[in-house]
Amino acid sequence: MVNKYVIQKIVFPKESKHMMCRDLFYHGENGYLDRANGTLTLGAGQKCDLNTYINSCSWGKWLKYTNARDVALILDIEGAFELLYTGYSMKYRELIRTEYGTVKEQFKERKLVRFDYPTNKETIVGVEISAIDRCVIHGGYYEASYDGQLNDVHLSIATTTCKKEEYIKKNVSLIKSEILNNNDDDDIKNHLTFHVVDNGRTLKEDEIAGEHVYLHPNKNAGGSGGFAKGMIESLHQHEKTCNEGQSTHVLLMDDDVLVLPESIRRTYHLLRMLKDEYKEHFISGAMLRYEKPMMQHEDIGTVEGGGIFVPYKPGGDLNDLHNVIKNDGAYYSGKNQYAAWWYCCIPVTQIKKNGLPLPVFIRCDDSEYSLRCKAKIITMNAICIWHMGFEIKYNPAMDVYMYCRNMHIAKAVSGILSELDIHGDFIKEFYRKLYKYEYGACELMIQAFEDYLKGPEFIKKIDGEVLLKDKRKYNEKLIPLSKYEGVRIRLIEDVYWDEPRKFIDKVIFHITLNGHRFMPNFLYRKSKDITVTAYGASIQTQKITRKKKYIAVDPFTETCVERTIDKERGKAILKRFKKIESIYKRQNENVEKIYRSEKEYLTSEAFWLEYLEIKQL
């Protein structure tokens, strides 16, 4: 007997942000989109192409990872129309399009139209709809045939939030209305639990909780503490209430994101149909940029030389069909890949085998966890969230201190990235910041080394919230760019552009540490115009060479900070840095052994229950 299972739904944009990336849902004329009811009405001669990032069927992925055999598309439609069923794949860099059949109908009332695609190995399949006269598309779904039994799945969503009420209330409301209170989703809604961990303790029970939705006030132990609490609650939910099943998977999800409920459905359906050899895989949701919602930032990340986080696939405009196919195509699994916790589905078996997150408060917890688990990762088009790009979030307390300290801790505890010279790269980064007169960030990096060398007792006892507040004192204070009335710049182009490098400047730059030693005044460049560079991790080397003063501009917020060379402060920082480097070289081998001996406890439930001050589950 051949079994059939719905694997994907056709969905139209409902949120205002989704209207800014409508082509992720469908190409063609706007038609009349009824966002409340999720229907699209086309007039005579108008077209709707569903070969898109969200509404095509990722058939190549379903064939590879699941027991699916054949696929059909069922459309809920009325009016006069012609349907053209298509498939796309890629050979080398060329798109290959196949037309599988056409259907021409005229219905006075809505009906279901079914098309069974012939057996194929397309990357995606979809449909193009042409209205002969008025035509209303009410939705539809892709259905796969399969052999055997579906997997038993209970998906637990764990999200951690801290004083971001607007985002989390929105996401809870979306999931309630689109899935948990939707009678068409009986399968998933009875096997889904939502745990909201409130690190800020500002949410009220009646604002969040409901059937299958739970609010957990929590000590503010950062993202790692919030997600650890979410994992613990997920693991024990069946013991606390008879209404929830035993979790098989935990979906970690950031709070400050825009959720697409179909992504959660698709994740659940994928888990239900996974082949045995893929049941231990993580499912990684893509991060699409909230400010440019058609652009993908990352769906899988990798850690490269020196501990730099890099998207595994090049970012691209997912309105473009070429990028949609390429994004869903095969990729070669490389070293040091991770799934970020803005959307990461983890099998409970992996949690039981590898433990809970490290208590590092924030930064690097997700990458360390994937690397510790030696995670193999599945991605699929439309399993995604929208998140604000990181370029506008540069915060030295987190992106320098936390990042530097936690990468060292992660490497020491888990033995990850042993082939990379992480410490050497941070040394280079220290000098780059010194060259930029970014003295607060230099001091934060020194403190990161110092605190790492204190060993695991430091992270066991420290209050991360208090610590981070203290480190923020070293952040520069940005002011409105409008304060500099004489500065007229094209924000993005001028800020990130650097001048051509001159050999003599290069020599002076390195020999003098950009003026911090052996630099007479006559060597400084003089100009009436204010030099403008980028605020953040990047460096425009030629612009700042032999300059006593310049401004670093954040083009996204149109704010800036003025930086001026302070030779005495720079020399003092350099002296302190060399001292901690000397201590690091003598002590690091022993410090790593101590961290590693504490690994099992630091990632255990017993540790987290004590750290989070949880007396009873």
Tens-digit pLDDT profile for residues 497-517: 899 999 999 999 999 999 999
Contact between residue 74 and residue 34 where contact means Cβ atoms under 8 Å apart: no
pLDDT value, residue 253: 97
Instruction: Tell me the residue ranges of DSSP E strands in 462-589.
Output: 479-480, 532-534, 549-554, 559-564
Q: Which pLDDT value is given to residue 487?
A: 67
pLDDT > 70: percent of the chain: 97
| 283 pLDDT more than 70 | yes
Closest CA to 146 of 8, 277, 273: 273
Which whole number is the average pLDDT over 344-359? Answer: 98
Using pLDDT thresholds of 50, 70 and 90, give the confidence band for residue 490: low
**Which pTM value belongs to this model?**
0.94
Q: DSSP character for 117?
A: P
pLDDT of residue 558: 87
Average pLDDT over residues 202-228: 95
Give the pLDDT band of residue 304 (cuts 50, 70, 90): confident
- Spatial CA neighbour of 162 closest among 611, 464, 461, 388: 464
pLDDT of 264 reads 97
Q: Is the pLDDT of residue 574 over 70?
A: yes
Residue entry with tokens 């990461």: 344
Q: How far apart are CA 410 and CA 303, in angstroms?
A: 13
Indicate if the pLDDT at residue 267 is higher than 70: yes
**Rounded distance, CA 328 to CA 324, Å?**
6
- The CB density around residue 534, as the number of other CB atoms within 10 Å, is 21
What is the mean predicted confidence (pLDDT) over 146-167? Answer: 94
Domains assigned to the chain: 3-146 (2.60.120.260), 155-393 (3.90.550.60), 397-569 (no CATH)
Element (H, E) at 134: strand 124-146
Q: Is the pLDDT of residue 617 over 80?
A: no
Nearest by Cα to 81 from 56, 107, 51, 58: 107
3-state secondary structure of 496: helix
**Residues whose CB falls within 8 Å of the CB of residue 100, separated by 6 or more in sequence, listed in order:** 85, 86, 87, 115, 117, 118, 120, 125
The pLDDT score that the predictor gives to residue 391 is 64
Instruction: Look at residue 356 and tell me whether its pLDDT is greater than 80.
Output: yes
User: Residue 243: its pLDDT value, please?
Assistant: 81
